[in-house]
């Protein structure tokens, strides 16, 4: 079995996403949660921390089928450019897309230890790292050529996202695929999103502003996700002057 890399996440707090965030991270239209949202967040975190339940939820939401094609297309296009592409699947969760990547060129990272353990069990040939940023492995990132952020940006305060991407090499182009849920302000979507685990859901304008800050855009589209939500599918090149 490939060595499972484990480094202790550097931020304090829970084992969930954005552990260690501070109140001031709620900026640019990301509202500080009210009491109802805090309760729903607590409940969904308590339930969805278990990889098996997370995977069941994915199946109910018809994932990963819906997004798999976008990930597959990106992998094909990366391979067409460079067969030795080295990929980081940041926020890999239980390893939803791990099987699509060659084990030699893949590193899955997640801040949840149960998710990483589950992913490692399902994909013993692939490498995984338990971490909530890239700081600790910065010196090993020189040949990274692509980063996948599938369903992750809405878990991250802007400053953390910037600091993660700022660790990527400045010398070569790093391709980025980001697929993320956009915030619903009304209707059924807004009710369902009360239970969203990501604390930094953003509307399309704000999400695009952040994407523009971190990467130069190659393509962008908004894709309906069920009847309630929209997903933002963004391809770009990570900026070298990000901070």
CB of 184 to ligand SAM, least distance (A): 16
- Provide the token pair at 57: 């939820």
Strand pairing category for 106-110 and 87-90: parallel
The residue (of 12 and 35) whose beta carbon lies closer to ligand SAM is 12
**Alpha-helical runs (H) found in 149-243:** 158-166, 187-192, 204-214
The residue (of 96 and 145) whose beta carbon lies closer to ligand SAM is 96
- Strand ranges (DSSP E) for the chain? 5-6, 87-90, 106-110, 127-130, 146-150, 175-181, 215-225, 229-238
Is 192 in contact with 226 (CB distance < 8 Å)? no
CB of 64 to ligand SAM, least distance (A): 6
The residue (of 85 and 115) whose beta carbon lies closer to ligand SAM is 115
How many Å apart are CA 196 and CA 189, to the nearest integer? Answer: 10
How far is the CA of 27 from the CAs of 41, 215, 232, in angstroms? 19, 20, 20
How many Å apart are CA 185 and CA 138, to the nearest integer? Answer: 38
SS3 state of residue 124: coil
The residue (of 18 and 193) whose beta carbon lies closer to ligand SAM is 18
The residue (of 54 and 83) whose beta carbon lies closer to ligand SAM is 54
The residue (of 63 and 102) whose beta carbon lies closer to ligand SAM is 63
Q: Which residues bind ligand SAM (CB under 6 A)?
A: 17-18, 58, 91-93, 96, 109-112, 115, 132, 150-152, 155-156, 160
How many Å apart are CA 158 and CA 65, to the nearest integer? Answer: 28
CB of 122 to ligand SAM, least distance (A): 12
CB of 115 to ligand SAM, least distance (A): 5
CB of 120 to ligand SAM, least distance (A): 14
DSSP 178: E
CB of 201 to ligand SAM, least distance (A): 11
CB of 162 to ligand SAM, least distance (A): 12
The residue (of 115 and 144) whose beta carbon lies closer to ligand SAM is 115
How many Å apart are CA 74 and CA 224, to the nearest integer? Answer: 19
């Amino acid at each position: 079995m490939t060595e499972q890399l484990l480094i202790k996440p550097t931020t304090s707090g829970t084992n969930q996403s954005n552990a260690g965030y501070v109140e001031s991270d709620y900026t640019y239209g990301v509202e500080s949660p009210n009491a109802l949202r805090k309760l729903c967040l607590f409940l969904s975190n308590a339930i969805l921390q278990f990889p098996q339940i997370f995977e069941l939820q994915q199946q109910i939401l018809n994932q990963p089928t819906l997004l798999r094609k976008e990930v597959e297309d990106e992998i094909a296009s990366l391979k067409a450019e460079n067969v030795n592409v080295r990929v980081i699947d940041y926020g890999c969760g239980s390893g939803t897309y791990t099987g699509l990547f060659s084990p030699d060129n893949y590193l899955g990272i997640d801040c949840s230890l149960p998710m990483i353990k589950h992913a490692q069990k399902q994909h013993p040939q692939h490498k995984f790292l338990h971490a909530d940023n890239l700081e600790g492995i910065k010196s090993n990132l020189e040949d990274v050529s692509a980063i996948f952020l599938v369903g992750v940006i809405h878990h991250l305060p802007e400053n953390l996202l910037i600091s993660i991407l700022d660790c990527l090499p400045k010398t070569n182009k790093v391709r980025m695929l980001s697929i993320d849920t956009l915030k619903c302000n009304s209707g059924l979507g807004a009710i369902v999103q009360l239970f969203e685990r990501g604390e930094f859901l953003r509307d399309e304008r704000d999400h695009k502003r952040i994407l523009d800050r971190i990467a130069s855009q190659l393509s962008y589209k908004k894709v309906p996700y069920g009847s309630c939500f929209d997903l933002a599918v963004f391809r770009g090149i990570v900026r070298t002057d990000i901070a």
